[in-house]
Amino acid sequence: MRFTQAMRSYILGDVNSHCANILALSSLLNIIGTGAFTSITVVFLLQSAQLSAHELGSGLALSGIVALGASSQAPRLIHRIGARRSLLAVTAISGAAAISYIAVRGTVSLVLIATVAIAAQRAGAVCRLVIISREFSNEQRVAIRAQLQVAANLGFGLGALIGAGALTLASIEAYNAVITFNMLTYAAAWILLRGLPGDTADGAQSRRLALHDRTFLLVSVCGAASAMHNAILPTAIPFWLAKHAGLPKPLAAVMLILNTTMVLLLQVRVARNVDSLSAARMTHRRVGLLLALACGMISLAEGSGSLAIGILLISGVVYTWAEMCQSSAAWRIAFDLIPPDSAPAYHATYSTITSLGTMIAPAVVVFVLEASGSWGWPILGLMFASACWLTGVVAGQ
């Protein structure tokens, strides 16, 4: 028992409130289901819905764009019924959308269902941030956000294992079982979320207030550009290994496992060190240097020898440390700059801008690596370093 408590404290930190536990556990359940479904999405839709690759890609891309506009209305919902009730509502909608994928039979139905699912998921993230802003002190908020990140990494890894099992069976029945499981995780999360504290008035101000806050908008744009490095492991590394290096292709999976393990063990502890806005600004500048270093190391990992493999794995450690620091600094800056009485509008604006960066990041990193050849990684490192430096500067205005 003492060992279990010690490990929980080491991984999740010292914040141990009823509200924090509900948020973390419900997020874990959601993301286990999401991870399982994400693993089978492409294969399921190609086989069951009989979509072409073009129809699938364009349908998902259109859904993501439309969902941005839909999820931006989250502040209105939160103001009308409160963050807790809003979170319960969008969780129920997410569950309904999850099971509806079984009925996809064409591009139109895919776009409709995926748009609802993505919009509800993003709105739920805004609701969680508003609840964190309302229920916890400024010193606790980053720690709680770090706990949710740990839950996300753990949940996605567990879900991917479930999805891998379904892919091994390679049957429509197995894929339908995963979709049903995903829906059930939302149902279980909804039951847990009912235990959250009751609602109070949440942010009556119009979203225009956030849109007229120039400092906040600049920080959001620079932060979104900084966070585009998140496309390195899932997109840039596999692409580079496939096109430009003689290294083993499974190294991409090894680096993802390394990243997940480090985040699980260290994210909350790293977040503790970013305890003020000034610390967050300084952390962003250091992160820029670490990202430039990691990208430079990757560019040196040519060939198929053990030295190249070692360099690539070490670059993965450097990158993951930079990722954890950047995330912690971004959370601190966001929570410090957002007025508590306008949290819904500000969090929704920040989330929308960040989502835009996330959407274009894979295309950007692939384009740079493809167009720049051997200079691709140094150019990416310079881009990320510049974005991080600008974020630190703008946040101090």
For residues 349 and 211, the answer to whether their CB atoms sit within 8 Å is yes
Which residue bears the tokens 């060992």? 3
- The Cα–Cα gap between 88 and 50 comes to 33
Around Cβ 358, how many Cβ atoms within 10 Å? 15
Angle at 78 between CA 97 and CA 113, to 5 degrees: 15
Instruction: Please tell me what DSSP assigns to residue 197.
Output: P
Q: Which residue's structure tokens are 């929704």?
A: 348
Give the C-alpha separation, 144 to 355, whole Å: 21
Q: How many helices (H) and strands (E) does the chain have?
A: 16, 0
pLDDT digits (tens, 9 = 90+) for 8-29: 454 455 556 889 899 999 999 9
Q: What is the pLDDT of residue 201?
A: 52
CA-wise closest residue to 381 among 223, 219, 229, 224 = 229
Domains of the chain: 2-193 (1.20.1250.20), 208-395 (1.20.1250.20)
77 sits in the region (left: phi over 0; alpha: psi -120 to 50; else beta) called alpha
Amino acid occupying residue 171: S
* pLDDT tens, the chain, 397 aa long: 554 454 445 445 555 688 989 999 999 999 999 999 988 888 888 887 778 878 888 888 888 888 887 777 888 888 888 889 999 999 999 999 999 999 998 889 999 999 999 999 999 998 998 899 888 887 788 889 899 989 998 998 899 889 989 988 888 899 999 999 999 999 999 999 999 887 665 444 455 567 778 888 888 999 899 989 999 988 899 888 877 657 788 888 889 889 989 999 999 999 988 888 899 999 999 999 999 999 999 998 877 678 888 999 999 999 999 999 999 999 998 888 888 777 888 888 888 888 888 888 988 998 999 888 779 999 999 999 999 999 989 887 6
Q: For residues 120 and 90, is the Cβ–Cβ distance under 8 A?
A: yes
Ordered DSSP codes for 214-250: HHHHHHHHHHHHHGGGGGIIIIIHHHHHHHT--S-TT
- Asked if 167 and 120 touch (Cβ cutoff 8 Å), the reply is no
Q: Which residues, 6+ apart, have CB-to-CB distance to 185 below 8 Å?
A: 29, 30, 32, 33, 34
List pLDDT tens digits, range 340-383.
Answer: 777 888 888 888 888 888 888 988 998 999 888 779 999 999 99
pLDDT of residue 194: 93
What is the per-residue DSSP string for 130-146? HHHHHHS-HHHHHHHHH
Task: State the residue for tokens 């990684």.
Answer: 377
